[in-house]
Amino acid sequence: MLQERGEALLDLAKKVFAIEAESILKLQDRLDEKFIQAVNILLACTGKVIVIGIGKSGIIGRKIAATLACSGTPAFFLHPAEGIHGDIGMMARDDVAIAISNSGETEEVLKVLPVVKRMGIPLIVLTGNSQSLLARNGDVVLDIGVKEEACILNLVPTASTAATMAMGDALAISVLDRRGFKEEDFALLHPGGALGKKLLLRVEDLMHVKEAVPMVFQDDSMKVALIEMTSKRMGITGVCDSDNNFVGVITDGDLRRALEKRDDVLAKKAREVMTTSPKTITMNALAATALQIMERHSITSLFVLSEFAPKKVEGLIHLHDILKSGVA
């Protein structure tokens, strides 16, 4: 009995997926000149896009407004009940409105229409009833009607809300594409996200500088170099000449290899053990680029050189610094 109930539940879930997927796919057949007009209206907007809806349509409207805003189109959600009690003052003549109502007869949404029309704000309507009062007042009407809801009672908004969200996403992504919106633009709007960190954080934001950078002269003994490596806790030290020009590095690996070959390593000069032509990076490079170099060459540190004086050390960036920043 329990197994039969479990199978019935899975069958019902699959039916929900199928109905909602079919509802979204059928939107493709309705895409026509009206959709293009809606996109052009959004592109021409010099103000904000105001998304209006209530109930489940309002929840989807919030998501559509958020998607537009995060993809370069200033937008916000206006609750119609709050709107007719003062919040409609947020609307301006250079805005564009998107009104959502499956029935097209939602009273609260209709009450906002007089102000929208009086201010001359272009109105894009998303509805399942093209003959409704809301549709008759829209400048562009996009049909998001569905044959049936995924609810077994055909009552709870399910397929209709899925179709509405898909249409909103299609509008937002089409506008994004026409605007030439790029990863860098997305990062600027998402500075706290992983992509934002990858595209905004630079080496100079994370690198160690001045006294924190391990450095020895090429004629210093390996004992001095070892003390420098130990005290700065980086597992590496840079090596410079008498003019403070960067000439190489000594890593833990260099030290181990030297110990395998000779017993008097600590008496040797730094230049006798150092690795010449190490991997480096400039301070204005992305931290993500530094991480890629480290992963490609299986290293954990990069000395940061001046962009204008390629032999001058500006700092040191370590793998741990990048990982802690959340770039990875």
Query: Domain coordinates of the chain in residue numbers?
Result: 2-181, 203-325
- The arrangement of secondary structure in 2-181, i.e. its CATH architecture, is 3-Layer(aba) Sandwich (3.40)
Per-residue confidence (pLDDT) for residue 64, from 0 to 100: 97
Cα separation, 190 vs 201, whole angstroms: 12
pLDDT at 208: 93
CA dihedral 227, 233, 235, 239 (to 10 degrees): -50
- Residue given tokens 């003062």 in the structure block: 86
pLDDT at 326: 75
The residue to which tokens 């052009």 are assigned: 40
Q: In this structure, what is the dihedral angle of CA atoms 106, 113, 138, 132, given to the nearest 10 degrees?
A: 30
Tens digit of pLDDT per residue, the chain (328 long)? 566 678 888 999 999 999 999 999 999 999 999 999 999 999 999 999 999 999 999 999 999 999 998 888 899 999 998 987 878 888 999 999 999 999 999 999 999 999 999 999 999 999 999 999 999 999 999 999 999 999 888 889 999 999 999 999 999 999 998 888 776 656 555 555 555 555 667 888 889 999 999 999 999 998 898 899 889 888 899 999 989 999 999 888 888 888 887 777 787 888 888 888 899 999 888 888 888 899 999 988 999 998 888 889 999 999 988 888 877 6
Quick one: pLDDT at residue 90?
87
Question: What pTM was estimated for this model as a whole?
Answer: 0.65
Give the model's pLDDT for residue 216: 92
Q: What is the spatial distance between Cα 30 and Cα 42, in angstroms, rounded to a whole number?
A: 19
Q: Give the per-residue pLDDT at 116.
A: 93
**Residue 306 DSSP label:** -
- Please state, in angstroms and rounded to a whole number, the distance separating the CA atoms of residues 19 and 195: 34
Residues 6+ apart with CB under 8 A from 149: 19, 155, 156, 157, 158, 159, 160
Pairing of strands 301-305, 280-282: parallel
Question: To 5 degrees, how large is the angle CA 199–CA 205–CA 209?
Answer: 150
203-325: CATH superfamily: CBS-domain (3.10.580.10)
H or E element in which residue 314 lies: strand 313-318
- Contact (CB, 8 A) for 222 and 266: yes
CB burial class (10 A; 0-12, 13-18, 19+) of residue 266? middle
Q: What is the pLDDT at residue 322? A: 85
Tell me, what's the pLDDT at 33?
A: 96
